[in-house]
Amino acid sequence: MKPVKIGICGLGTVGSGTFNVIFRNQREINARAGCDITIAQVGARRDNPACDTGDVSVERDIFAVARNPEIDVLVELIGGTTIAKDLVFEAIANGKHIVTANKALIAEFGNEIFAAAEAKGVSVSFEAAVAGGIPIIKAIREGLAANRIEWLAGIINGTGNFILTEMRDKGRAFADVLVEAQELGYAEADPTFDVEGIDAAHKLVILASLAFGMPLQFDKVFTEGISNIAPEDVAYAEELGYRIKHLGIARASQAEGVSGIELRVHPTLIPEKRLIANVDGVMNAVLVKGDAVGPTMYYGPGAGAEPTASSVIADIVDVARSIHADPSHRVAHLAFQPEALSDINILPIAEVETAYYLRLAAQDKPGVLSQVASILSDDGISIEALIQKEANEGEEVVPLILLTNRVVEKALMAAVARLEDLQAIEGSVIHIRMESLG
């Protein structure tokens, strides 16, 4: 086979990692691809001291790489959804295959990008867009092809996982740990995408589309961050045998006769005995439940120069192997053939059924617990576990912690509103969803 020439656009953390790993492991990579893979050009606005490009041509105008007739595969590693989007469409129009690590680009514009690629007979590969070095996309798209996927749940943002781990292990407050995460380079100066769940939502919608055979629908993901998680809730969860993790969850649901797919990112209590509950620090993990294989878990580094480069290069190898294949014989972008994708109903969060953790600030006097239990019972909610703490000296309010049975969210929120109206309950009722993931 003739050499496959690639152009890398973006020489930041992932771009430099990809360049360095290709040069270091050239022999192994080419042996697996069955042809020579060569970096013919780099597009970067500035050099990176972590990457010696040697005699490889470096072009400051990245669009020149997209138009270069010598380039077979454009590797988009600049990030964002503006210039990157234009670059990818330009490269596709010029007959280039695409490899990208850009989860926001795929989550928000993937449907249009895939349609353009199919019309042009080129492929778009995006393994590195979700969970860094973990080959989760290949696992769902190919390794689990025999299965009807029932649900998946993942820790798919390392920054949030690091913060929650520190809060649990050291009893620290969210704001305190966030500062450290920024100092360590785990969180950006503006951490909104990480701590408010937007990054995880981008990744979840990609996984869900692969799992359930539907177009990408980022705008329908329910997203809730971790900035309001208090140290006491982390501690109470631990006391009850649970851990709080920030999860992306996609599930085929039949809650109370309402069928559809749940797409949600939020803090979640999970039993501490589950493997995924013990994924700590900046590591990522994804659980996938297939009807044939049962639950499987995929664990590893979710970011970093070389772990992410590992996934980028795996995609390059896949493209090199199939570059001369009939486009209709390549693995479909979203696992299912384009004509088989269906607009499955996405359930609003109000229709989703889960169990709940509730924390109330209750006045320390007789009859309060019975009032709380009566309100919950009226909405069909039973109490599965209860912790009532002693009041500190001089205080008249005590924490009351409840775990409920599974209930549809709209019923839970109706009960919460009534609880907050009680004179014996002060402030807001803290509620966090729970999943067994069994």
Query: In CATH, which superfamily holds the domain spanning 4-133+305-340?
Result: NAD(P)-binding Rossmann-like Domain (3.40.50.720)
Give me 400's structure tokens. Answer: 């009351």
Among 43, 50, 111, CA closest to 74: 43
Q: What is the pLDDT of residue 394?
A: 67
CB 363 within 8 A of CB 396: yes
Lowest mean pLDDT among 63-72, 81-90, 275-284, 330-339: 330-339
Higher pLDDT, 97 or 389: 97
CA 382 → CA 240, 356, 402, 406, distances in Å?
17, 11, 10, 9
What is the spatial distance between Cα 185 and Cα 203, in angstroms, rounded to a whole number? 20
Q: What is the pLDDT of residue 256?
A: 60
Tens of pLDDT, residues 3-37: 999 999 999 999 999 999 999 999 999 999 999 99
What is the spatial distance between Cα 230 and Cα 172, in angstroms, rounded to a whole number? 9
Lowest mean pLDDT among 295-299, 348-352, 365-369: 365-369
Question: How would DSSP label each residue in 349-410?
Answer: GGG-EEEEEEEEEEESSTTHHHHHHHHHHHTT--EEEEEEPPPPTT--EEEEEEEE--EEHH
Q: How confident is the model at residue 343 (pLDDT cuts 50, 70, 90)?
A: confident
Tens of pLDDT, residues 286-335: 999 999 999 999 999 999 999 999 999 999 999 999 998 887 778 889 88
Question: Which residue ranges make up each domain of the chain?
Answer: 4-133+305-340, 137-301, 353-434
Domain range 137-301, CATH architecture: 2-Layer Sandwich (3.30)
Q: What percent of the chain has pLDDT over 90?
A: 89
Domain range 353-434, CATH architecture: 2-Layer Sandwich (3.30)
* Residues taking part in catalysis: 203
